[in-house]
Amino acid sequence: MDENWIILLLVVSFFLIMTICGGVLWIKPMKWGKTLKIHNRMRASLLTIVALFLCLGTYGIITLNGIEKVTAMMGANPAKVEKPKKVKLEITNSQFETTHDQFVLTGKVDPGTEVRVTGTALYGEAKVESDGTFSYTFKTKRMAYGSAQYQFMISAYMDGKVTNSKTVVITRKLSSAKEQAESTKELARLDKVNQTIDYKVLLKDANDYTNIYTRRAVKYQGQIQEIHEAEVGTTVMILAVTKDQQGKWINPIIVRFFGQIIDKAKGDLITIYGKVGVDCGLYCDRKIPEVNAIRMR
């Protein structure tokens, strides 16, 4: 408690005591009242009213204006409390392209900063040099059916400062005619997939590693019931794949697009190609089948 607070509390206490004394003398005049020059009830009532007014007035000023304004009125200059600054985090860009299976991201932070990297099935720490330069190597393998997009969150932490986070997107482009040909071949193979496992059969061992249909290539058409960006760079949706007699879409499955942001919304009709998987993220509390999608139309 600083000196100004003590003075203000003493002032309030003094006026409170004087109010009590005035009240006592008003109720019953006493000998010690003459010492205070209070010879009758009129003076006692006047003392009570004035002291009570000053007591409540001082307390009100403190309560309504705060100690900072009160101490300022008293001529004090309290130290200003500065808000913590944001951690320094500099990267050259937020969008990158590469034709290699690895990509090294570099940036700059203050020395002593901890830099963490999070993304789809990824959690790591970047190497920070003594001068604040940091680097992190990402695996950026292409998908069998073509290019791939990876999205990550870079976060800088330091005690006493506000965390700074930035999103980075790395697109893995096809690097050669050979990769282009392989991609075209894989997409043609996917287009020929017509297997749609009966929903009741698929539901029987949903999200069970013993499911005999795990990793089986499938194709489903349906209506999006829910859609979210579950992790950094991953889209998850609930897709109803059966149309009942009233035309309502029922029988939901979890569809997960790893490393892809899907530009679709609730109610859209889509066709997905993928492989039966095991749920390991959002909606894991729902006992419904999952498909790790590879392509969408």
CATH number, span 90-172 = 2.60.40.10
Provide the residue ranges of all domains of the chain, joining segments of one domain with +.
3-73, 90-172, 193-296
CA of residue 43 relative to chain centroid, distance: 65
Give me the residues of the chain with pLDDT under 70, please. 1-9, 15, 22, 25-26, 30-41, 44, 47, 58-81, 120-121, 144-145, 205-211, 230-233, 259, 278-286
Q: Looking at residue 225, what is its pLDDT?
A: 95
Say what the pLDDT of residue 53 is.
Answer: 72
Determine the pLDDT at residue 252.
93
* pTM of the predicted model over 0.75: no
Q: What is the pLDDT of residue 61?
A: 64
Backbone angles phi, psi at 103, to 5 degrees: -140, 130
Q: First CA to last CA across the chain, in angstroms?
A: 68
**CATH architecture type of domain 193-296:** Beta Barrel (2.40)
